[in-house]
Amino acid sequence: MPVVRLKPKAEARAIRHGFPWVYSDELVTDRRTQGLTPGTLAVLEDGERRALGLVTVNPKSKIICRMLDRDPEAVIDQAWFEARIARAEAMRTRLFDAPFYRLVHAEADGLPGVVIDRFGDVAVVQPNAAWAEAHLEMLVAALVAVTGVTSVVKNGSGRSRVLEGLTEEVAVVRGAVDGPVTVPMNGALYMADLLGGQKTGLFYDQRPNHAFTARLARGARVLDLFSHVGGFGLACLAAGAESALAVDGSAPALALASQGAAAMGVEGRFATRQGDAFDVLEALGTEGAQFDLVICDPPAFAPAKPALEAGLRAYERVARLAAPLVAPGGYLVLCSCSHAADLSSFRNASGRGIGRGGRRAQLIHTGFAGPDHPMLPQLAESGYLKALTFRLDG
């Protein structure tokens, strides 16, 4: 087993206390370490040559080491994967009545860089780190053995894989997938495209925020911006909303949202509008449109620190354009899935935008990702989702 070592002045205490990453400037990167194949397993030592655990090494990544096991003599075989997956599954089956949830949430579930979403008998695996790509066959075998899923999709796409030096690929690696999968959630039905949709096909992280927002939706006119396959809008209709307008830039996503509405029998109260959300917001403002409940759930405007300033300006702009569309006494829900924008920064940007939109607001609820997206306390990046619900005055 290769050995890699922290620099003498690197802080080993954080690793001992549960931080799962070593950055490239903290590791001795001699010629031997630089020559390791991405995904290689190695023993990590501190500056005094004391073992800290078993890590995976990727010399091409800024995150050069990811902690796999505190036991430096651990064997990464199918049984090891099965134990990690079984532990993750035990919590989800306690929380949810049906097998539709995020099964593995990367570092927080002890499988760094690995995301697995379950859709009944189908699972979608995102191997976002080089070590997971190298061990994919073993990971899939363990997943099938523990959960009994009959089909597995590899979704090898996204920014994380690029940062790891991996190529993009989406493929069915076990069984077969024929068309969109129907997902029941919060009384609504969603159509998830597991092969051609965004991410794994559906965003489970918003489940509790859908549920809270739906409580405000009875008899309401709802505007669901950046709706994807109808996330908030369909949940609101299931709770008794008068109508819902879903806005998204993706025609395929809106088509799936319409299919979900038809499956629920609420197609008469559901409408879609394709276009850039900012353009649609401005157009609706010009038209004098009013809604009792407006939800904005955009993609990550600040996925990393270099994009933070521009991202916060974008969140402020969303709030400024959306606030005038809310009827007096109505509600505005603003969401951020940006790692780099912490809660305070996002809340401040949202408040500025609402004020610039000419409205005053009460913040009545702050939501986060559901419990199938656990947060690793030592890794702030694992707690990325924020959802702010405001009540606006006249």
337 as an active site residue: the answer is yes
Tens digits of residue pLDDT in 22-68: 999 999 999 999 999 999 999 999 999 999 999 999 999 999 999 99
Same domain, 60 and 85: no
pLDDT, residue 382, reads 82
CB-based burial label for 91 (10 Å; 0-12, 13-18, 19+):
middle
For residue 199, what pLDDT is reported? 81
Give the separation between CA 207 and CA 130, rounded to whole angstroms.
30
Pick the catalytic residue: 65, 236, 296, 337?
A: 337
Q: Are residues 137 and 237 in the same domain?
A: no
Percent of the chain at pLDDT exceeding 70:
100
- Whether residue 203 is found in the same domain as residue 242: yes
Helix ranges (H only) for the chain are 12-16, 31-34, 78-95, 130-134, 136-147, 159-163, 207-214, 231-238, 251-264, 277-287, 308-322, 343-356
Retrieve residue 156's tokens: 């090898």
Beta strands 221-225 and 243-248 are parallel
Say yes or no: 65 and 90 in one domain.
no
- Taking only the tens place, the pLDDT of each residue in 314-335 is 999 999 999 999 999 999 999 9
User: Domain holding 7: CATH number?
Assistant: 2.30.130.10
* Residue 226 counted as domain residue: yes
Task: Say what the pLDDT of residue 158 is.
Answer: 85
Q: What is the CATH number of the domain that holds 95?
A: 3.30.750.80
Of 27, 42, 69, the domain-final residue: 69
Among the listed residues 247, 219, 240, the one whose alpha carbon sits nearest the alpha carbon of residue 322: 247
Q: What is the pLDDT of residue 310?
A: 96
Last residue of a domain, one of 16, 35, 69: 69
Same domain, 52 and 152: no
Q: Tens of pLDDT along 210-252? A: 999 999 999 999 999 999 999 999 999 999 999 999 999 999 9
pTM: 0.94
User: Does 394 have pLDDT greater than 80?
Assistant: no
Instruction: Quickly list DSSP for 338-377.
Output: -SSS-HHHHHHHHHHHHHHTT--EEEEEEE---TTSPPPT
What's the confidence (pLDDT) of residue 12?
Answer: 85
**179 within domain boundaries:** no
Own/partner pairs for 214-221, CB < 8 Å, 24+ apart?
A: 214/186, 214/187, 214/238, 214/239, 214/241, 215/239, 216/293, 216/331, 216/389, 217/241, 217/293, 219/292, 220/291, 220/292, 220/293, 220/330, 221/290, 221/291, 221/292, 221/293, 221/327
CATH of the domain at 284: 3.40.50.150
Does 202 share its domain with 342? yes
In this structure, the answer to whether residues 31 and 88 fall within a common structural domain is: no
Claim to verify: residue 64 and residue 83 sit in the same structural domain = no
Residue 24 belongs to domain spanning? 3-69
pLDDT band at 197 (very low <50, low <70, confident <90, very high): confident
153-193 tens-digit pLDDT: 999 988 888 888 899 999 999 999 999 999 999 999 999 99
Number of domains in the chain: 3
Same domain, 283 and 242: yes
pLDDT digits (tens, 9 = 90+) for 75-92: 999 999 999 999 999 999
Q: Six-digit token pair at 353?
A: 């935008």
Do the domain assignments include residue 295?
yes
Query: Is residue 336 domain-resident?
Result: yes
Specify the DSSP class assigned to residue 382.
G
Mean pLDDT of 96-122: 97
Name the 3-class secondary structure at 129.
Answer: coil
